[in-house]
Structure 1
Amino acid sequence: MTKSISKYEETIEELSCYAPEGCGNIPWPVGVPSPFKPPTRFDVLRWDFFNETHIYLKTYNDVINSMDNDDYEDVHEVIDHAIEQLQKKYGMRLKLKKLINGYRQFDPTRGTHYIMDLSLIDQSHMEYIKRVELMRPLGLVEIIPMPFVTETTKVFLILPIYTDEQSIAIRFLRHVNKTLFDKETRDKFELLLTHVVTTKYELSQTQKWFDNLRHEVELIRRTRTQLTVTYHTVLLPSSSTITRYTHSTYILDFFETKLRSNSLIFLTNPYVNIESDFLNRCRLNVIENVQVFFPIGFYQYHPLIIMRTHHMTDNSTIDLHKSHGWFNSYAFDHIGIYMSDYLSLKKLISSTNISLSSINLYDLFVQLTDMNILRAPDQSLRVHYKSIKFMFCLNYINYFYLYKYNN
Structure 2
Amino acid sequence: MTKTTSSHFKPTIAPLFWGHPKAYTNNVLLILCIPIGIQKQLLHTHNKKKEMAAGKLTSFLVGLLVGVTISVTLLIIGSPHLLSTIVLYNNSVREPNSQPTVNNNKGLPVTQPRTLARDSFLIDRSLKEDSTDTPQNKYQGDAPIKVSDIPNFVSQELDLRRTVFVGVLTSWSVPSSTQQMGVMKTWGAEIEDGTMTFYAGMEESIEEDESVPVQRVTGTTMGQKMYSALRHMCHVHLDKFKFFLLTVDNTYVNVNNLTLLLDGLQSSEVIYMGSSKRGPADPTPVQYCELGPGVVLSRKAMQGLCTHVTSCAKPSANQDPAYSLALCLQMTIATNCTTSGESKRLFHKLWVSEDLDGDLDQKKFVTSSVTLHPVGRLETMFRLHQSYLSRRILDKLQNHKDLADRIHHLNRLIATTGPHGDVKLLLGDQENSKSSDVVPWQLIYEDSEEEDFANVLRSLDDVVQLSVEALRAEAIIEPKLKALFQRYHPVTGIEYRLEYEESEDDSAASHIVDVQKPYGNLFTVSATVGHKERVNFIVPVLENSQHLEEFLQMFESSCLTVSGANEVALILVNFGVTKQGNRLHQVLSPYEKKYADFSFKVINVKSESFSYARGIEIGLQAASDPDSLLCVLDTHAIISPDFMNKCRLNTQRGRQAYFPIPYQQFDLSATKAFSLAEEDIAPGMGFWWEKNFDTFCVYKSDVQNVEDLQLSGKNLSGKLTVRKSFSVFRVPEQGLLLPQRDRHCSSKFMTFDQTDICLQKQKEILTMQRHFSNLTER
Same-fold status (TM-score > 0.5) = yes
Structure 1 counterpart of 2:526: 145
Structure 2 counterpart of 1:233: 604
Structure 1 counterpart of 2:715: 360
Instruction: Say which of 353, 375, 385 aligns to 1:35.
Output: 385
Describe the shift of the 1:28–1:370 C-alpha distance in structure 2 as closer, same or farther (beyond 3 A).
same
Give, as a single letter, the amino acid of the residue that structure 2 aligns with 1:160: P
Structure 2 counterpart of 1:262: 627
Q: Distance in 2 between matches of 1:74 and 1:237?
A: 56
Q: Distance in 1 between matches of 2:552 and 2:577?
A: 23
Give, as a single letter, the amino acid of the residue that structure 1 aligns with 2:524: I
Describe the shift of the 1:217–1:28 C-alpha distance in structure 2 as closer, same or farther (beyond 3 A).
farther
Bigger RCO (CA 8 Å, 6+ sep): 1
Structure 1 residue 225 displacement after superposition? 4.5
Contact 2:538 2:619 in 1 (8 A): no
- What secondary structure does 1:360 align onto? helix
Q: Distance in 1 between matches of 2:656 and 2:404?
A: 37
Instruction: Say which of 160, 164, 180 aligns to 2:540.
Output: 160
Alignment deviations for residues 191-218 of structure 1 (CA, whole Å, 9 cap, x no partner):
12221x3xxxx35549523243224425
- What secondary structure does 2:386 align onto? coil
Alignment deviations for residues 19-56 of structure 1 (CA, whole Å, 9 cap, x no partner):
5899x9945689xx73239xxxxxx99x99xxxxxxxx
Q: Distance in 1 between matches of 2:580 and 2:693?
A: 27
- What secondary structure does 2:582 align onto? helix
Structure 2 counterpart of 1:300: 665
Structure 1 residue 80 displacement after superposition? 6.4
Structure 1 counterpart of 2:65: none
Instruction: Say which of 11, 17, 22 aligns to 2:349.
Output: 17
Q: Distance in 2 between matches of 1:254 and 1:111?
A: 36
The size of the alignment, in residue pairs, is: 283
Give, as a single letter, the amino acid of the residue that structure 2 aligns with 1:161: V
Structure 2 residue ranges without an equivalent (≥5): 1-115, 117-256, 258-341, 356-363, 371-382, 408-426, 428-440, 443-485, 491-517, 746-754, 763-778
Give, as a single letter, the amino acid of the residue that structure 2 aligns with 1:366: T
Q: Distance in 2 between matches of 1:236 and 1:140?
A: 60
Structure 1 counterpart of 2:178: none
Instruction: Say which of 559, 565, 572 aligns to 1:193.
Output: 572
Give, as a single letter, the amino acid of the residue that structure 1 aligns with 2:565: R
Q: Distance in 1 between matches of 2:657 and 2:586?
A: 34
- What secondary structure does 1:230 align onto? strand
Describe the shift of the 1:332–1:74 C-alpha distance in structure 2 as closer, same or farther (beyond 3 A).
farther
Describe the shift of the 1:206–1:227 C-alpha distance in structure 2 as closer, same or farther (beyond 3 A).
farther
Describe the shift of the 1:82–1:213 C-alpha distance in structure 2 as closer, same or farther (beyond 3 A).
same
Structure 2 counterpart of 1:77: 401
Describe the shift of the 1:76–1:235 C-alpha distance in structure 2 as closer, same or farther (beyond 3 A).
farther
Structure 1 residue 336 displacement after superposition? 0.5
Contact 2:681 2:734 in 1 (8 A): yes
Percent identity of the aligned residues?
18
Q: Distance in 1 between matches of 2:580 and 2:520?
A: 59
Q: Distance in 2 between matches of 1:110 and 1:267?
A: 29
Give, as a single letter, the amino acid of the residue that structure 1 aligns with 2:729: L
Q: Distance in 2 between matches of 1:152 and 1:253?
A: 21
Describe the shift of the 1:229–1:144 C-alpha distance in structure 2 as closer, same or farther (beyond 3 A).
same
Contact 1:248 1:360 in 2 (8 A): no
Structure 1 counterpart of 2:563: 184
Give, as a single letter, the amino acid of the residue that structure 1 aligns with 2:583: W
Contact 1:243 1:392 in 2 (8 A): no
Alignment of 1:380 with 2:735, yes or no, is: yes
Describe the shift of the 1:300–1:236 C-alpha distance in structure 2 as closer, same or farther (beyond 3 A).
farther
Alignment deviations for residues 99-145 of structure 1 (CA, whole Å, 9 cap, x no partner):
xxxxxxx9979997xxxxxxxxxxxxxxxxxxxxxxxx825534212
Structure 1 residue 247 displacement after superposition? 3.7
Q: Distance in 1 between matches of 2:571 and 2:621?
A: 12
Alignment deviations for residues 253-297 of structure 1 (CA, whole Å, 9 cap, x no partner):
532xx4210011111111111211111221121111111111112
Give, as a single letter, the amino acid of the residue that structure 2 aligns with 1:273: I
Structure 1 residue 227 displacement after superposition? 3.0
Structure 2 counterpart of 1:391: 756
Q: For residues 278-317 of structure 1, what are the structure 2 equivalents within 5 Å?
A: 278-303=643-668, 314=672, 316=674
- What secondary structure does 1:180 align onto? helix
Q: Distance in 1 between matches of 2:533 and 2:598?
A: 16
Describe the shift of the 1:254–1:207 C-alpha distance in structure 2 as closer, same or farther (beyond 3 A).
farther
Describe the shift of the 1:260–1:393 C-alpha distance in structure 2 as closer, same or farther (beyond 3 A).
same
Contact 1:206 1:233 in 2 (8 A): no
Q: Distance in 1 between matches of 2:347 and 2:406?
A: 29
- What secondary structure does 2:626 align onto? coil
Q: Distance in 2 between matches of 1:171 and 1:295?
A: 22
Larger displacement relative to structure 2 (209-218 or 150-159): 209-218
Structure 2 counterpart of 1:127: none
Structure 1 residue 161 displacement after superposition? 0.5
Alignment of 1:335 with 2:696, yes or no, is: yes
Give, as a single letter, the amino acid of the residue that structure 1 aligns with 2:694: D
Give, as a single letter, the amino acid of the residue that structure 2 aligns with 1:189: V
Structure 1 residue 76 displacement after superposition? 4.4
User: What TM-score do the two structures reach when normalised by structure 1?
Assistant: 0.56
Structure 1 counterpart of 2:588: 214
Instruction: Say which of 667, 685, 696 aligns to 1:324.
Output: 685
Contact 1:295 1:377 in 2 (8 A): yes
- What secondary structure does 2:597 align onto? coil
Alignment of 1:273 with 2:638, yes or no, is: yes
Structure 1 residue 181 displacement after superposition? 1.1
Contact 1:243 1:393 in 2 (8 A): no
Give, as a single letter, the amino acid of the residue that structure 2 aligns with 1:230: K
Describe the shift of the 1:179–1:203 C-alpha distance in structure 2 as closer, same or farther (beyond 3 A).
closer
Describe the shift of the 1:35–1:179 C-alpha distance in structure 2 as closer, same or farther (beyond 3 A).
same
- What secondary structure does 1:34 align onto? helix
Give, as a single letter, the amino acid of the residue that structure 2 aligns with 1:272: A
Give, as a single letter, the amino acid of the residue that structure 2 aligns with 1:150: G
Contact 1:234 1:254 in 2 (8 A): no
Q: Which has the higher helix share?
A: 2
Describe the shift of the 1:150–1:190 C-alpha distance in structure 2 as closer, same or farther (beyond 3 A).
same
Larger displacement relative to structure 2 (151-160 or 388-397): 388-397
Q: Distance in 2 between matches of 1:138 and 1:186?
A: 45
Alignment deviations for residues 291-349 of structure 1 (CA, whole Å, 9 cap, x no partner):
11111122221426x6xxxxx7x354551222222221110011101100111x43xx6
Contact 1:264 1:336 in 2 (8 A): yes
Q: Which has the higher strand share?
A: 1
Contact 1:192 1:231 in 2 (8 A): yes
Describe the shift of the 1:109–1:315 C-alpha distance in structure 2 as closer, same or farther (beyond 3 A).
closer
User: What TM-score do the two structures reach when normalised by structure 2?
Assistant: 0.31
